[in-house]
Amino acid sequence: MSDRLRCADLFSGAGGACKGLQRAGFYVEGWDIKLQKRYCGDVFHFGNALDADLVGFDFVWASPPCQAHTALKVMPNAKKHEDLIPATRQKLQAWEGFWIIENVVGAPLINPSMLCGSMFGLGTAGGRAELRRHRLFESNAALITPSCSHGAEMVCGVYGGHGRDRRRVVTAVGNSGGRSIRDGHQQFTVAQRREAMGIDWMNGDELSQAIPPAYSEFLGRQIMAILKKGTTC
């Protein structure tokens, strides 16, 4: 067994969050109901994340499925997806250690913090396309996050197994409008999306479900500092 602090990575996917948590210093074990052949963690458990035994772990990261909270839910052919955030929160609160729940903007997280790729200089095309992958993070620890730094010529979208420039019109009151501005036929290759995400081991579909490791490393280092101080919940 490693002498590193242990993190359980629930709903792990192929390990975008995992890689950042490892960089933050954690020994990471992942759980997913889909077999993840490219998972980059120290141990992978093929099974239901909500059944994971958290005894002995120092920290838990959880990324419940987001489909119930994305724009896909209003598509004509949309399938019904269960919201697993409440059950995940209940499990983690019962566990009583430090935890983070990650999900998309629009998910019913409580007092979440937000991260964006522009905060970490993530992008591709020689810096001309930035990654604005906004994600929310609920935690029972006090998290510090910077502000977005939008401003690149293009935006590299990573979603649905493909990547397009997905800038949106902004109204005078600062809200996102309803139509996307496509930069001609600008498409981003899998290689460019990997560069933008800071991930070199996933395919296109896996990238669309992942978060950049920079996000989990940034937050994981904060949790690591709290744990090393011996602070309790």
Task: Tell me the range of 73-77, 78-82, 118-122, 172-176 where mean pLDDT is highest.
Answer: 118-122
pLDDT tens-place string over residues 155-196: 887 764 444 555 433 222 223 333 334 444 458 888 999 999
Coil, helix or strand at residue 69: helix
Is 1 domain-assigned?
Answer: no
**Closest-CA residue to 98 (of 139, 39, 51, 151):** 139
E strands, the chain, in order: 6-10, 27-32, 43-46, 59-62, 98-104, 113-115, 123-124, 129-130, 135-139, 154-155, 167-170, 176-181
Query: How many domains would you assign to the chain?
Result: 1
Is 181 domain-assigned?
Answer: yes
**Closest-CA residue to 157 (of 82, 114, 108, 207):** 207
Query: Given this model, what pLDDT does residue 77 score?
Result: 54
Q: What is the mean pLDDT of the chain?
A: 85
Q: Is the CB of residue 106 less than 8 Å from the CB of residue 69?
A: yes
Query: Residue 55: CA atoms inside 13 Å, Cβ hemisphere, count?
Result: 1
3-state DSSP of 164-193 = EECEEEECCCCCEEEEEECCCCCECCHHHH
Query: Given this model, what pLDDT does residue 75 score?
Result: 46
This prediction's pTM: 0.85
Mean per-residue pLDDT, 199-221: 95
Is 166 domain-assigned?
Answer: yes
Domain containing 204 equals: 6-228
Query: Given this model, what pLDDT does residue 186 score?
Result: 58
- What is the rounded CA–CA span in Å between residue 127 and residue 132? 13
- What is the rounded CA–CA span in Å between residue 63 and residue 44? 15
pLDDT tens-place string over residues 99-138: 999 999 999 999 999 999 999 999 999 999 999 999 999 9
CATH number assigned to the domain comprising residue 201 = 3.40.50
Is 20 domain-assigned?
Answer: yes
pLDDT tens-place string over residues 26-46: 999 999 999 999 999 999 999
**The two three-digit tokens of residue 148, written as one number:** 């977005």
- What is the rounded CA–CA span in Å between residue 99 and residue 97? 6
Is 126 domain-assigned?
Answer: yes
- What is the rounded CA–CA span in Å between residue 128 and residue 219? 26
**The two three-digit tokens of residue 89, written as one number:** 């929160």
Is 233 domain-assigned?
Answer: no
Coil, helix or strand at residue 213: helix
Taking each helix axis from N to C terminus, what angle separates 16-23 and 213-228, rounded to the nearest 10 degrees?
Answer: 40
Q: Confidence class of residue 231 from pLDDT cuts 50, 70 and 90?
A: confident
Is 143 domain-assigned?
Answer: yes
Q: Is the CB of residue 223 less than 8 Å from the CB of residue 29?
A: no
Query: Given this model, what pLDDT does residue 1 score?
Result: 58
Element spanning 209, H or E? helix 204-209
Percent of the chain scoring above 90 in pLDDT: 70
Is 87 domain-assigned?
Answer: yes
**Residue 174 backbone zone (phi > 0: left; psi -120 to 50: alpha; other: beta):** left
- What is the rounded CA–CA span in Å between residue 44 and residue 37? 9
